[in-house]
Structure 1
Amino acid sequence: MEILRLFVIALMPNLKVLLITVLGSFLAMKRFDLLSETAISNMNTLVYFVFSPALACSSLASTMTLRGLITLWFMPFCIVLTVVVGTALGWLLVKITKVPYHLKGLVLGCCAVGNLGNLPLMVVPAICREKSNPFGDETVCYKNGMAYASLSLALASILVWSFAYNIVRIYSPKEICNEEKVDQITQNPTFASESGEKTLSNYSENGDRSHTNNCDQHEIETYAVPEAKKKMVTMLNILEKKVIQYLKMLSKWSNLKLVFPPTLIGAVIGLIIGVVPQFRNLIVSGNAPLYVIQDSIIMIGNACLPAMTILVGANLLEGLKGDRVKFSLIFGIIIIRNIALPVLGVATVKGAVHFGFIHHDPLYEFVLLLQFALPPAVAISTSTQLFGSGKGECSIIMLATYSFAAVSLTLWCTFFIWLVL
């Protein structure tokens, strides 16, 4: 009977998420014409630049203190662990299933980064609001749960837009075109002379890449030289292109706009307000002179969760119209994200509690365990749309993984609650 009660508690928040997701799918149907492609794009922009930063800022400002931040040091470690192990398992999956080159970034991103921002913010507060929630007082549970989930959201924004985003970019059609051309020249040193002494240059003067499937080719004529010198010139050209390619890659990785997305900026501002007592007394507390600012940010942030859930449903609808994907590939991603990583999470979190690395807090342990059992991050779908690499395949993978997660996440939540109590 106890297990059944825990199952019902874990089922309710997941059922709410599922219902809102289904609503998003219905609204995106052409029959209703309420969420067109333009509307989805505009809504994504609002969530990315307004709702999500406001939610992270308001939650962390009102719940996080310096002492609490130090106490939660184990959460970044767990999140990085999921990314490292997920990437390693994803690489094995790529090798075993022989994934096409342009889908490697998609598969690695789906295995490495879970939905660490959206789902914890939906599931954890919903469990706390249940009348018979197992984590104690509803108000305290909700306050602490929002703090844990908001910190997870801030950390997730770094990983998604600095790691997963660039993984998809590296394996985009633009990169494929570059590597195929270089390989062709490498395998045939006389290729340049046979093709009119031309080499490939894919970079403009400002260093920006085009997000299309066509390569920008600039013809460079070379002079007639003996065969030996031709080979030397060709190899030097190849070396030059490789060096430029790696430099451009490093410049993209160091792009501050990607490393510091709006959600992270909002989280940093919220942390500063919450940690610095002067700012906290000025903005956050009930009698604060500028409490109206915090109240306004909270109102804006409250729109984030329903908007993101509706967008998940709208994006999943594309999976019914997407390209075909190997069953073995989908099955492998589901195994990694819904079985392998949760098992790793149980061993990691319970081991940390046993050896005294973290204090015994059932809600905190539950959030740490939950981070290991989440489906792929929705932002990966945004990256594939941006680069035009595997958009249809990504929709199918998202549809399959989130459909399976509707069941597996409920079961894992039930087990996690039983485990931490």
Structure 2
Amino acid sequence: MKVISLFMVASMPIIKVLLITAIGLFLAFDTVDILGANARKHLNKVVFFVFNPALVGSNLGKTVTLESFLKLWFMPVNVLIAFLLGSALGWVLVKLTNAPKHLKGLIIGACSAGNLGNMIIIIIPAICKEKGSPFGAPDVCHTYGMAYASLSMALGAIFLWSYVYNIVRISSKDTTEIAAGDDESNGDASVEYIREPLLPSTDSSTMHSVDQIPLLSGIKDRFRKFSKMINLKSVLAPSTSGAIVGFAIGVIGPIRKLLIGNDAPLHVIEDTAYLLGEAAIPTTTLILGANLLRGLKGSGIQLRIVFGIVVVRYIFLPLFGILVIKGAIHFGLLPFDPLFQFVLLIQYAVPPAMNIGTITQLFGTGQSECSVIMLWTYALASVALTFWCTFFLWLVAS
């Protein structure tokens, strides 16, 4: 395919993201106040608990079988490599910029955790629909592309809440801001529905009764410590649960026959989940734009830190990603599937995960700095993602 044609295919989904993001930003202005703090709080709940798990579960259930499940084994490895590379580059950036202690976790998190869900779920269907796409028939491309993107979203949620969450938590212990974060949510409603399940309180009366059975008490104490250490409830977030259900439906034959296909007795359940999932993409993009408003107000973060994160996410990580995927192809670890390879490459080029902002709010540290980072990384994503999508399309199509 010609480079100009590839560029047009790659730029269309990015332009769509920018337009919807701009609408979300406009709706968040004080003079409009449609997507104010309270509105974002409630809309975030709907997306978090309903739209995202429905999107992940319905797409995986329709496309995943036992054979395809075995084919997708490299994606978790790829996401892990991306997180580890980003963490190493983030650590180097912290050392080079002599960043403040309370920002170390934020910087490493922003470098390691990409938006592996919403951005890819927006990009893939748009590319599949574009004339000249190298991925074949639009309907087939959309079906399998959404399955890959949904798995990417689930994996991103697992790594974010088990890995980045704990990096920010450890970094926050060295600052006095975490004490304030325990007492107030800074007026941001998105923290409220996460704080309670993430940091459950301990009932002393229950502990007293359990102590009467030493063995049971010891096991429960160890499990509680382990759960707090890895933030187990966050790992099993709704998107992750949706992925587990989707895999179960796709892999287990009898369940698949009941739910999947027009002739399935209970296909209305799958159709309903798919319909709900379709709302996740535009809603999340609107929220993304509304959340950028805080970044417009600025903060005291050093410009070189923001610049460093941009360089890591949009230059170094994509280059390392090409080496990883090309190496995997060379050693026969990946099937000949250009669409799958494209999704794996995109995982290295997306902007930071938006939920990093929620994590910083949870611990009361680096919130305004995070908004500035998100503002600039997502603003520059229009240029960076268009370039890398064009290059990746040429790479997998050649």
What is the identity, as a one-letter code, of the residue corresponding to 2:264?
Answer: A
SS at match of 1:171: helix
Q: Any stretches of 5+ residues in structure 1 without a counterpart?
A: 180-201, 203-208, 214-246
What is the identity, as a one-letter code, of the residue corresponding to 1:419?
Answer: L
The residue aligned with 1:127 is 127
8 Å Cα contact 1:211-1:388 kept in structure 2: no
8 Å Cα contact 2:57-2:245 kept in structure 1: yes
**Offset from partner CA, 1:235-292 (integer Å, 9 cap, x none):** xxxxxxxxxxxx9975522442122111100110011001111011001121111111
What is the identity, as a one-letter code, of the residue corresponding to 2:19?
Answer: L
Where does 1:243-282 land on structure 2 (aligned, <5 Å)? 251-282=227-258
Where does 1:400-419 land on structure 2 (aligned, <5 Å)? 400-419=376-395
Q: Distance in 2 between matches of 1:92 and 1:250?
A: 29
Residue 177 of structure 1: CA displacement? 3.5
In structure 2, which of residues 328, 342, 346 is the aligned counterpart of residue 366 of structure 1? 342
Residue 331 of structure 1: CA displacement? 0.9
User: CA 1:40 to 1:160, structure 2 compared with 1: closer, same or farther past 3 Å?
Assistant: same
8 Å Cα contact 2:177-2:364 kept in structure 1: no
User: CA 1:129 to 1:88, structure 2 compared with 1: closer, same or farther past 3 Å?
Assistant: same
Q: Distance in 2 between matches of 1:110 and 1:329?
A: 11
Q: Distance in 2 between matches of 1:211 and 1:140?
A: 51
What is the identity, as a one-letter code, of the residue corresponding to 2:110?
Answer: C
Larger displacement relative to structure 2 (333-342 or 354-363):
354-363
The residue aligned with 1:82 is 82
Where does 1:49-64 land on structure 2 (aligned, <5 Å)? 49-64=49-64
Residue 212 of structure 1: CA displacement? 4.7
The residue aligned with 1:210 is 182
Residue 169 of structure 1: CA displacement? 2.3
The residue aligned with 1:321 is 297
Q: Any stretches of 5+ residues in structure 2 without a counterpart?
A: 186-222
The residue aligned with 1:310 is 286
What is the identity, as a one-letter code, of the residue corresponding to 1:16?
Answer: K
Q: Distance in 1 between matches of 2:255 and 2:282?
A: 30
User: CA 1:164 to 1:255, structure 2 compared with 1: closer, same or farther past 3 Å?
Assistant: closer
Q: Distance in 2 between matches of 1:248 and 1:342?
A: 38
* TM-score under structure 1 length normalisation: 0.82
The answer as to 2:363 corresponding to 1:383 is no
Where does 1:165-244 land on structure 2 (aligned, <5 Å)? 165-172=165-172, 175-177=174-176, 210=182, 212=184
User: CA 1:178 to 1:395, structure 2 compared with 1: closer, same or farther past 3 Å?
Assistant: closer
What is the identity, as a one-letter code, of the residue corresponding to 1:166?
Answer: N
Q: Distance in 2 between matches of 1:10 and 1:140?
A: 19
Residue 355 of structure 1: CA displacement? 2.0
The residue aligned with 1:141 is 141
Residue 44 of structure 1: CA displacement? 1.1
**Offset from partner CA, 1:85-120 (integer Å, 9 cap, x none):** 110110111111111111111111101110001111
SS at match of 1:33: coil
**Offset from partner CA, 1:184-215 (integer Å, 9 cap, x none):** xxxxxxxxxxxxxxxxxx9xxxxxx93559xx
Q: Distance in 2 between matches of 1:416 and 1:44?
A: 32
SS at match of 2:182: coil
Q: Distance in 2 between matches of 1:4 and 1:144?
A: 26
Structure index of larger Rg? 1
**Offset from partner CA, 1:3-58 (integer Å, 9 cap, x none):** 00100000001100110000000000011110111111111111111110110010
8 Å Cα contact 1:346-1:369 kept in structure 2: yes
User: CA 1:98 to 1:275, structure 2 compared with 1: closer, same or farther past 3 Å?
Assistant: same
Q: Distance in 2 between matches of 1:98 and 1:328?
A: 10
The residue aligned with 2:215 is none
What is the identity, as a one-letter code, of the residue corresponding to 2:3?
Answer: I
Residue 387 of structure 1: CA displacement? 2.1
8 Å Cα contact 2:101-2:174 kept in structure 1: no
8 Å Cα contact 2:161-2:231 kept in structure 1: no
SS at match of 2:175: helix
8 Å Cα contact 2:128-2:135 kept in structure 1: yes
Q: Distance in 1 between matches of 2:328 and 2:105?
A: 32
The residue aligned with 1:394 is 370
The residue aligned with 2:276 is 300
8 Å Cα contact 1:211-1:386 kept in structure 2: no
* TM-score under structure 2 length normalisation: 0.87
Q: Distance in 2 between matches of 1:136 and 1:255?
A: 41
The answer as to 2:157 corresponding to 1:157 is yes
Q: CA RMSD in A?
A: 2.0
Residue 366 of structure 1: CA displacement? 0.6
State the aligned residue count: 360
Q: Distance in 2 between matches of 1:26 and 1:347?
A: 40
Residue 369 of structure 1: CA displacement? 0.5
Q: Distance in 2 between matches of 1:54 and 1:269?
A: 10
SS at match of 1:210: helix
User: CA 1:289 to 1:144, structure 2 compared with 1: closer, same or farther past 3 Å?
Assistant: same
Structure 1 segments of 4+ aligned residues over 4 angstroms from their partners = 247-251
What is the identity, as a one-letter code, of the residue corresponding to 2:371?
Answer: S
User: CA 1:178 to 1:413, structure 2 compared with 1: closer, same or farther past 3 Å?
Assistant: closer
